[in-house]
A and B are shown apart, each in its own frame.
Chain A
Amino acid sequence: MNFYATKISDKGDIAVDDTLLVKDVLCTAGSNILQGFTPLFSAEAVTRLVSVGYTISGKTHVGEFGLDLVGEFSNYSEKTDTLKGAAAELVKEGKVKAALGVDVNGAPRRAASISGVDFLKSTYGTVSRYGVVSTAASGEAVGVYAKDAVAVGEIMSKIAGYDSKDGTCQNNEFEYDYSATKDIKGKKVCIITELYEKCDDAIKAKIDSAAKILEKNGVQVDRISSDIFSLAATAWQILYTAETCNNLSRYDGVKYGLRAKEYKNIDELYVNSRTEGFNFLTKAVILYGSDVLSKNRYKDCYDKALRVRRVVAEQLAEILKTYSAVLTPACSAAEYSAYNIADAFSKVFGELEFTAIANLTGNPALVSSGVQFIGDYYKEGDLLCLANAIERMGE
């Protein structure tokens, strides 16, 4: 499998998804529209890692703007029968210590789940989004792929923290805790029955096994029912498509990237460049997003989704008063096989129920051993410790 869109160094220990900028290195975010685009600066997370001695190995393939399941619709990578994420596979094969990714739609979490590695989507506002090829600013977050929770925590502690270049980056007085080795005895975790029932047997087995190990470690595991995950999927579908429609509108063929060869006037320049530049899935996202923002639909769609976002966040917070984490699948199946891009929009929506809540509310979510822990704001440490216990037991 060809992992890199651009290889930088054989000695590199950190791979970077092509949705994050590395200074002077080609960045296309998997899209034709950014053909030949070379950024003038690096993402803050990249800069922080380099400043403490890490070396960037290269830019890993992503699906166009990170909007697909696991990276299957990059315009630059080869097509395969079973779908895997490039950065997750690199980590799995031990070719890099860790990788950075952008989670807007759950793709890195699904990829980690399938490859059996860890990915942590950080609490919104803990890692600077400076240098992220942005799609949905209100929910996208920089995260870390690594082989286990301890390694995730190590990288997170280097990249998290206030950055004045990102107005949404939190300037908290307390220190973030990413240590993965604290005792978990006495903690409580809940499984959401609705999500459990929607998975294939392989995933169910992973959840069952995780629950068993946690119980052995003195964790109480409850099963509860909640509809906020499907509400979250619908609300996030509206918000992320709208924001993506808006954020991708800067790719117009005027300034950089692809410009169509044929055009007679400025309107044709726009239309032809964007027609050639975006793939079918991205176009579907743009059209859907444009529709929910339109005058006639705004109140019923976008505005309502914002309200749902508040309600879901409140209800999730209520659950997390009792439980250290919600234990859920990150995707419906242990494996994805290739499919037609015409089905991509509904395929991705089908999986959103497992991941969207963390993007919608900004809560942290950690995928490990094929399961997902969703926790309270800034409590990544709790999630890492739970995951670490399962990882150790599995050895």
Chain B
Amino acid sequence: MGYEVVIGLETHVELSTNSKIFCSCGGHSSPKEPNDCVCPACSGMPGMLPVMNKRVVELAVTAGLMLNCEISRYTTFDKKNYYYPDLPCAYQITQLNHPICTNGLVTVKTANGARDIRIKQIHMEEDAGKLVHEGKFSFVDFNRTSVPLIEIVTQPDFRSAEEVLAYLNKLKSMFRAGNISECEEGAMRCDVNISVRKEGSDEFGVRTEIKNMSSFEAIDKAIRFEAQRHIDALEFETEELVQETRRFDDVTGKTFAMRNKETEADYRYFPDANLMPIIIDDEWLEQIKAAKPVEVDERAEEYRAEGISDKEIEILLDNSKAAKLLDDVIALGCNAKDSAAWILTDCAGILRKDGQSLNELNISAEKLAAIIKMVANGDVNRNSGKKILIAVVEDDVDPVKYCDEQGFAKKVDSSAVESVIDKVLSENTKAIEDYKNGKEKAKQALFGACMKELKGAGDPALIRTLLDNKLQNI
């Protein structure tokens, strides 16, 4: 008879906010020096009070909406007490009794099919700092203290490591699309609860918890190792399983039990009197809902319907900035498929030349839309459009003005093109003669001269037709 692995997950996700959760310190996502982004509040000095960052509430609610949770209209903070030098107040502000989101549901797909994962709750909390050990000294870096986190707690609904990874990948793309979190390495950390039981059994086996893993690879390996350890214990009685907290060691690929002292603490949770209960009224909730980006899957479908390629969709889902830009230019009336090409091919190409990635793209939707429209309307050809784009991306010029200055505008009325051709022909009598004498190349030279005269803005097909006509009539 086989065994079934039962897994529940607690995932900490760092939120993308400008400032920390209870103070106005910013820049914590890219500090230059230790203790660079620190104030009296987040370093635990007396006299400072936590003040709630509203953005954190909005991002947590958005995450809850994406995971189909019930949103609490009344949510409160609690203090969790423990001593550690990286925790400046010796307590962490978190949510125990009234978390912001509860009872969610998310479906994960693997090669073995789809599974519904119930979300028990999402709560907001602050991160702790970090210790740096050098020789016999330890240094405290408070840059990360009070960085906003949400913790997403699932029910024990996973049945394999694959499902856990599918879930984490889904969270990652959702949260990127929703600007909730960059979900970069280390910005997502997991605690994994795991037990094993005989297939068909309703009762849970002895549960162990593997704490604080941040790489998906480690999570995958840890689950596989731990599940096998449990199975071996049940099948071959290699050891007696006890409920305990364990750590995963990257080097050996094994889990090991933590000292009891670290796990049996009484955290003495109690309500934080410095933070008033947060009331999320209808109006606020509606605002958050309206600002919420559409679900990833739903969105992929929308893109596909617009004729955007799968390859492009993949890039877009992974890159919220590009996706946002695309949405914005579409909203400004541009064609979706065209716009996707402009962003993912042309813009990306320009950045690549400068050794930059799409993430560093800094162009306003208005300017990009202006270029896309100029080309779509036939005001300029695509080549000129690209030149304008380069100038906009690199020097942030005004696209319309730049187009005028450079004389890129297509001379749409053929009379203007005609007069240019006449001028070129009158200046190149030798070439005309060569052409009449059967030199096709001469015509190419004349064409080039016309294009040059039109500064490349002329429509090549039109020039060719008109030039042919003129030459025939000479």
Chain A interface residues (CB < 8 Å from chain B): 21, 27, 29, 34, 37, 39-41, 43, 129-134, 136-138, 164-168, 242-243, 246, 249-250, 252, 254-256, 266, 270, 290, 293-295, 298, 302, 306
Contact = CB atoms under 8 A, between A and B. Distances in A.
A216 B140 CA distance: 66
A167 B270 contact: no
Interface of B: 40, 43-52, 79, 81, 83, 85, 88-91, 138, 140, 266, 268-276
Contacts of B90: 249-250, 252
Contacts of A129: 49
A281 to B, nearest CB: 18
Contacts of B276: 167-168
A298 B47 contact: no
A133 B273 contact: no
Given A138-B273, A252-B90, A254-B85, A41 B49 contact: no
14 contacts: A39-B45, A40-B40, A136-B273, A137-B272, A167-B52, A246-B270, A249-B89, A250-B46, A255-B43, A256-B45, A290-B268, A293-B268, A294-B268, A298-B270
Contacts of B48: 130
B122 to A, nearest CB: 22
B473 to A, nearest CB: 80
A133 B140 CA distance: 23
Contacts of B44: 250, 255
A68 B460 CA distance: 92
B81 A246 contact: yes
A308 to B, nearest CB: 15
Contact of A40 (B45, B52, B88, B140): B45
Most buried by A among B45, B52, B272: B45
Contact of B88 (A21, A133, A255): A255
A294 B52 CA distance: 27
Contacts of B81: 246, 249, 293
Most buried by B among A41, A246, A270, A294: A246
Nearest to B43: A255
Contacts, number: 93
A167 B275 contact: yes
Nearest to B24: A165
B47 A21 contact: yes
Contact of B83 (A27, A130, A242, A249): A249
Contact of A165 (B51, B138, B140, B268): B51
Contacts of A252: 83, 85, 90
**What are the 9 tightest A-B residue pairs by CB atom distance, in nearest-first order?**
A138-B273, A249-B90, A293-B268, A137-B273, A131-B47, A133-B46, A250-B89, A250-B44, A21-B47
A134 B46 CA distance: 7
Nearest to B23: A165
Contacts of B273: 136-138, 168, 243
B106 to A, nearest CB: 32
Nearest to B266: A295
B418 to A, nearest CB: 69
B49 A43 contact: no
Contacts of B79: 246
Nearest to B91: A246
B250 to A, nearest CB: 25
Do most interface residues of chain A lie in helix, strand or loop, or is the interface mixed? loop
A352 to B, nearest CB: 18
Nearest to B39: A40
B46 A130 contact: no
Nearest to B272: A137
Contact of B140 (A39, A254, A294): A254
A165 B49 contact: yes
Contacts of B85: 252, 254, 266
Given A249-B83, A294-B268, A167 B45 contact: no
Given A250-B46, A256-B45, A293-B268, A167 B274 contact: yes
Contacts of A250: 44, 46, 88-90
Contacts of B43: 255
Given A252-B90, A266-B85, A43 B47 contact: yes
Contacts of A136: 273
A254 B137 CA distance: 13
Given A40-B45, A133-B46, A255-B44, A270 B83 contact: yes
A321 to B, nearest CB: 26
A143 B81 CA distance: 30
Contacts of B271: 306
Contacts of A40: 40, 45
A130 B47 contact: yes
Nearest to B261: A267
Contact of A39 (B46, B268, B272): B46
A278 to B, nearest CB: 14
B129 to A, nearest CB: 11
Contacts of B274: 134, 137, 167-168
Nearest to A295: B266
Contacts of A255: 43-45, 88, 140
Contacts of B47: 21, 39, 41, 43, 130-134
B76 to A, nearest CB: 12
A23 to B, nearest CB: 10
Contacts of A167: 49-52, 274-276
Contacts of A37: 46
Contacts of A246: 79, 81, 91, 268, 270
Given A40-B40, A293-B81, A130 B49 contact: yes
Contacts of A256: 45
A43 B40 CA distance: 13
A294 B266 contact: yes
Given A249-B91, A254-B85, A293 B46 contact: no
Given A293-B81, A294-B268, A34 B46 contact: yes
A21 B46 contact: yes
A200 to B, nearest CB: 35
A305 B277 CA distance: 19
